[in-house]
Chain A
């Protein structure tokens, strides 16, 4: 059916994808492919930028010099990831200004996880371990995504993310080897972040609106449920190793499928958080809006100065 409706261009495009040849910015691509990528890459970039806020919340309170430096470096990496992702998005014809405006207006989405607050130092460990851990599952797969600039950005990002995941886990290990208060702090962080981390993979395949087309275009390489399952399989043994309890009474190893069975995700909570009703949605957008507004005169000054320099050069 599909074959009959393909024009020659579409046919050539799909054949590149089927042969694992990357699509590059100057190549012809269907509008819907372009739109899907702009949506996905910009959401990804926004997630990096918004993701700086919950972790940035603990930089000034980091418990020692080493942790402060590592956290600064991590948050700086995230700003860098945002920057290359916006650049990848710009190769598709969308501007960073427009994309930022969509973020501030609430039109654009970002990962729901960053709408949860970081309440203790252990949350910095949990975010690195679980949130970056979940992000990596997705991102490793995206290194093979069909759009060249996005795939290449992901290769670089993945290297840094896996370092973030390890440092998060190392914070948790240190806490679990520490005092009773530290162990309780770590467990409490896992209790709060486990389910939201599972939600990061998005709705179940049955309810995911964009999945099938994205798989055909190789924008996505695995389904949401496949990635979620891989994450659970990888993470549960790490929790057990250091004595953390996963807050899911239905979690059980299933020999037959070679993976863990797990309990029901609260999709109503997920729906609420992505539609703006999470614990920190308003604060996150307010912080971005404030930075954007307060930065406006700075950006204008930089432009005005550059113009003066250029006109001096020209005359």
Chain B
């Protein structure tokens, strides 16, 4: 498969898997307003994934539909970052994961709007509007929980401590990126690395939280080496397509 196809899937898989994770919470949130908000974010992410898989289906040109690509790959063929497949945990963990991801996604889509690939630029533009709301939501909660009670502070700090090792992978690049950066299609992620740290540091002082000092980084998702969680996510996600192959729904 060509580099553009692989590049699209990395973005699409992040959206799909995080959307799938948030969907698990539907009906189980800490308040009705949060059920509405988290479900809405899940819906946006599934929408973004759909646009991207539709584009991948065209680029891949193998007669596969967006649904085939989304639902019928094996575990090693999904290339989402490890961060998005981590379990929801408590609400502190869910918010920490969302905040680490949204902070990246806002900067990523902002820059991807300049892509020479018109379709990617258009998807980035549309997704950016939604993602700004997601970031506002997760940042506000991060501050509220961080500066709320001692219990909420501890819970959300635990979330950050646990998840921060997965944030670095959002900046992973390899030959797929190199080829497309040269063509002006992909984004050189090093160009938004400093902005990412600044974006985190905009919110952290208000939340009274901090990033862990341990610099251990965990990567692998972008090349299909996942945590044990992904297989279980896929067994639910793919259940119908695997149990009843080749049917219309």
**Does B151 reach chain A (CB closer than 8 Å)?**
yes
- Chain B 18-34 interface 0/1 with A at a Cβ cutoff of 8 Å (1 = within): 00100110111111111
Docked Cα-Cα span, A300 to B71, in Å, equals 40
Are A305 and B53 in contact, with the CB atoms below 8 A? no
Q: In chain A between 46 and 63, which residues have their CB closer than 8 angstroms to a CB of chain B?
A: 49, 52-53, 56, 59-63
Q: Which of A53, A59, A179 has the most CB of B within 10 A?
A: A59
Docked Cα-Cα span, A174 to B46, in Å, equals 22
Of B26, B43, B71, which one neighbours A64 at CB under 8 angstroms? B71
* Chain B interface, DSSP helix/strand/loop, else mixed: helix
- Chain B 91-117 interface 0/1 with A at a Cβ cutoff of 8 Å (1 = within): 100000000000000000000000000
Are A75 and B27 in contact, with the CB atoms below 8 A? yes
List, sorted by A's number, 5 A–B pairs whose CB atoms are closer than 8 Å. A64-B249, A295-B91, A298-B145, A300-B148, A301-B149
**Does B239 reach chain A (CB closer than 8 Å)?**
yes
Docked Cα-Cα span, A296 to B90, in Å, equals 12
Are A294 and B91 in contact, with the CB atoms below 8 A? yes
**Does B236 reach chain A (CB closer than 8 Å)?**
yes
Q: Which residue of B lies closest to A83 (CB)?
A: B32
**Does A65 reach chain B (CB closer than 8 Å)?**
yes
Q: Which residue of B lies closest to A72 (CB)?
A: B43
Are B152 and A56 in contact, with the CB atoms below 8 A? no
Are B39 and A76 in contact, with the CB atoms below 8 A? yes
Docked Cα-Cα span, A175 to B249, in Å, equals 7
Are A287 and B28 in contact, with the CB atoms below 8 A? yes
**Does B188 reach chain A (CB closer than 8 Å)?**
no
- Chain A 107-127 interface 0/1 with B at a Cβ cutoff of 8 Å (1 = within): 000000000000001000000
* Chain A interface, DSSP helix/strand/loop, else mixed: helix
Q: Which of B120-128, B165-173, B192-200, B240-248 contacts A (4 or more CB under 8 A)?
A: B240-248
Docked Cα-Cα span, A296 to B91, in Å, equals 11
Are A75 and B39 in contact, with the CB atoms below 8 A? yes
**Does A156 reach chain B (CB closer than 8 Å)?**
no
Are A65 and B46 in contact, with the CB atoms below 8 A? yes
Contacts of B149 in A (CB 8 A): 297, 300-301, 304
> Which residues of B are interface residues toward A (Cβ below 8 A)?
20, 23-24, 26-36, 39-40, 42-43, 46-47, 49-50, 53, 66-67, 70-71, 90-91, 143-145, 147-149, 151-152, 155, 236-237, 239-241, 244, 247-249
Interface residue count for A (Cβ, 8 Å)? Answer: 48
How far, in Å, is A181 (CB) from chain B's closest CB? 6
Q: Which residue of A lies closest to B236 (CB)?
A: A60
Docked Cα-Cα span, A293 to B40, in Å, equals 23
Docked Cα-Cα span, A53 to B145, in Å, equals 27
Docked Cα-Cα span, A62 to B32, in Å, equals 23
Are A297 and B28 in contact, with the CB atoms below 8 A? no
Knowing A63-B240, A76-B39 are in contact, say whether A297-B50 is a contact too (CB < 8 A).
no
